A and B are shown apart, each in its own frame.
Chain A
Amino acid sequence: MTANSDYTQACARCGSLAGPHDIFCGQCGRELAPALQQARGDAFAALTPALVYYFLTLFLLMVYKFTPAFPSGFEGQVVISLIDIVIVIAFALHARQDLAPLFSVSQLRFRLVVLTIAGALAGSLVIAALAKFINISISDDVFYDPYLFQDTQYPMLISILFICVQPAIFEELAFRGFLFGNLQRVTSPLGALYISSFLFGLMHLSYISMIWLVPIGLAFAYLRLRYNTLWYGMIGHFFYNLGITLIEYYQLF
């Protein structure tokens, strides 16, 4: 066989050469570049991590929000946050191989970072106004209430830490990270995008706020799917929550 520039790939099983449009190896029939491997067969077995994470966290949040089991005020906020961080880290470590590429910074584009920040701040303004219009407290849907921190030494700093930094890192790591990855193994990327955003809205335990939480989740999930990174989502989430916190803090509306 003469050297042929038409060959652009080689079979991983038998080493035969193949053309750029070939999907299977002509010699052994193996698929040349299999797309993201979908788990076949039992849906619930493949979905176990996602379902366990969702219902475990949902249960804890319900206990925190609806029962007096947790200490009230600042202390309770710290306890539930720490529990959440531990759970998310455990699940993230379990899926670390899938998550590692999402932290690559080499593909980050400055223009997109700026656009994400601008979009997040604009979004926080629009949603704060909408929430005011339908007369519902925004801090009711984010679990994190700036007034909880008023008695601490540095209320603004602690608000930012618990309301902006922590959710931006750990909610993104959970919903756009391992939950999204787990769903992608059982359904199409678009299916994973919609389900993860729906669960993101549902988990906040306020049905009305789903009206804006699901679209926010969709935006972050789209950024994760389109650019294969968690950074835009984390940056956007931080600035969105920062916008909401500042609006609440200074009573802008």
Chain B
Amino acid sequence: MEASLSSSDSPVVPLKCENCATALAADSKFCPGCSYPVGGSEEQKMQFRIRIVRNKELIKASKEKIQTAKIIMYVLSGLTLLQGLYQGFAEDNFNGMVVNWLVAFIYLIMVAWADKNPFAATLSVFILFITVNLVNAFFFPATLFSGIILKIIVIGGLIKGISSAKQAQDSLNELEKVKAANNRDREL
């Protein structure tokens, strides 16, 4: 601080970071708040900005696949609910109805959670879906292959959702770290 007051003739380094407005020491080559290369070449500064733009684009690209995963969760919830209705009213299986409704409810909770933490919610649904199908297969092995195409679509969509959500999460962390403007865009 004292050093910068006395060297008034030629300020080589701006006193505030151009990227995040953190106060800088006179000899800083990088901003201590966001790692912006304040003392670097134009090319280095450009690379820093490109990094921010790239991460924002990655987040935008992953949103679509996360949306697909959310639709899959809605469909799973609806199908499980219908299955519960069928078991309760057509088969007179009260326990089966309650269990199915509980699972349908868990899928709905996951849809709501997906807005806050899409990665965790999609991963949980992925594991829940496989677990439910494995349990069913132990009692009725034939069910493993019923609706196999739908199951493959569901698992594929969820896997894509998990990877995309991870991508978006990584990019958000990166943007937060470099204090990019508008990085609070958490609507995934």
Report chain A residues within 8 Å CB of B130.
Answer: 55
Residues B162 and A207 in contact, CB atoms below 8 Å apart: no
From known contacts A38-B170, A195-B120, A207-B103, infer whether A29 and B37 are also in contact, taking CB-CB under 8 Å: yes
Whether B30 and A28, one on each chain, are in contact in the complex, defined by CB atoms closer than 8 angstroms, is yes
Q: Size range of the interface on A?
A: 35 or more
The answer to whether A195 and B32 have CB atoms under 8 Å apart is no
Given A62-B135, A202-B128, the answer on whether A207 and B30 have CB atoms closer than 8 Å is no
Selected interface stretch from B21-29, B69-77, B149-157: B21-29
**In the complex, residue of chain A having the shortest beta-carbon distance to the beta carbon of B170:** A40
- A26-B124 in contact given A38-B170, A62-B134 (Cβ < 8 Å): no
Contact call A210/B120, Cβ cutoff below 8 A: no
- The reply to whether B173 and A207 form a contact with Cβ atoms under 8 Å apart is no
Instruction: Spot the interface stretch: A16-24, A94-102, A147-155, A215-223.
Output: A16-24
Using known A-B contacts A58-B131, A66-B139, determine if residue A187 contacts B120 with beta carbons closer than 8 Å.
Answer: yes
Q: What 0/1 pattern do residues 26 to 64 of A give for CB contact below 8 A with B?
A: 111101000000101111100100010011001100100
On whether the beta carbons of A25 and B30 are closer than 8 Å, the reply is yes
- Name the residue of chain B whose CB is nearest to the CB of A191: B120
Tell me, in angstroms, the Cα distance from A62 to B135 when the chains sit together: 7
Contact A187 B138 (CB under 8 A): no
In the bound complex, what is the Cα–Cα distance between A47 and B123 (angstroms)? 10
Determine whether the beta carbon of B166 is less than 8 Å from that of A43: yes
B78 CB → nearest A CB, Å? 18
Contact call A24/B124, Cβ cutoff below 8 A: no
Cβ contacts under 8 Å, A211 to chain B: 102
Q: What are 26 contact pairs spanning A and B, CB under 8 A?
A: A19-B32, A21-B32, A24-B32, A24-B34, A25-B32, A26-B27, A26-B32, A29-B29, A40-B170, A42-B163, A42-B166, A43-B119, A43-B162, A47-B123, A62-B134, A62-B135, A187-B120, A188-B120, A191-B117, A191-B119, A194-B117, A198-B128, A207-B99, A207-B103, A210-B102, A210-B106
Chain B window 19-63, contacts with chain A (Cβ cutoff 8 Å), 1 for yes, 0 for no: 000001101111111110100000000000000000000000000
